């Protein structure tokens, strides 16, 4: 087994890599956000999933303000090394809209359909 180095991942021109979060038990795809090499390293060091906020240009520890924490179970790398999958234990809703997942809209027969309402 070789020691993992975040620098070996394939980042885009802005130094970012997409990371998909998946709930460990249900297998549900929760969300997608961006990481840079430091966010990857912080996630692995702390066990708390840390993303890079493009709008704030700062680190974003999931659940830091909402309490809807993502505890890292395992970080997986895709075959091209240009996308990550964070298998997590999600506490509370994953989406900032207070829905369980960010993928709550489907396109069916040419129309957008809302699949779930925000949690109360």
Structural domain including 47 reads 8-91
pLDDT of residue 89: 98
> Is residue 97 assigned to a domain?
no
> Is residue 119 assigned to a domain?
no
pLDDT of residue 2: 83
Q: Total domain count for the chain?
A: 1
> Is residue 100 assigned to a domain?
no
Task: Give the list of residues 6+ apart from residue 108 with CB closer than 8 angstroms, or none.
Answer: none
Q: Domain of 53: which CATH number?
A: 3.10.20.810
State pLDDT tens for residues 1-47: 889 999 999 999 999 999 999 999 999 999 999 999 999 999 999 99
> Is residue 80 assigned to a domain?
yes
> Is residue 49 assigned to a domain?
yes
- The mean per-residue pLDDT over the stretch 81-86 comes to 98
- The mean per-residue pLDDT over the stretch 47-55 comes to 96
pTM for this structure? Answer: 0.92
Q: How far apart are CA 82 and CA 77, in angstroms?
A: 8
> Is residue 75 assigned to a domain?
yes
> Is residue 43 assigned to a domain?
yes
Model confidence band, residue 63 (pLDDT cutoffs 50, 70, 90) = confident
> Is residue 104 assigned to a domain?
no
- For 16-58, the DSSP string reads -EEEEEEETTT--EEEEEEE-HHHHHHHHHHSB-EEEETTTTE
pLDDT of residue 120: 78
């Amino acid at each position: 087994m070789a020691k993992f180095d975040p620098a070996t991942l394939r980042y885009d021109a802005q130094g970012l890599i997409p990371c998909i979060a998946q709930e460990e038990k249900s297998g549900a795809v929760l969300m997608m956000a961006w990481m840079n090499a430091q966010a990857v390293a912080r996630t692995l060091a702390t066990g708390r999933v840390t993303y890079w906020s493009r709008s704030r240009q700062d680190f974003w520890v999931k659940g830091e303000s909402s309490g809807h924490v993502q505890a890292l179970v395992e970080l997986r790398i895709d075959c091209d090394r240009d996308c990550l999958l964070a298998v997590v234990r999600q506490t509370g809703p994953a989406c900032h809209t207070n829905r369980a997942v960010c993928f709550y809209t489907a396109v069916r027969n040419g129309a957008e359909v809302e699949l779930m309402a925000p949690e109360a």
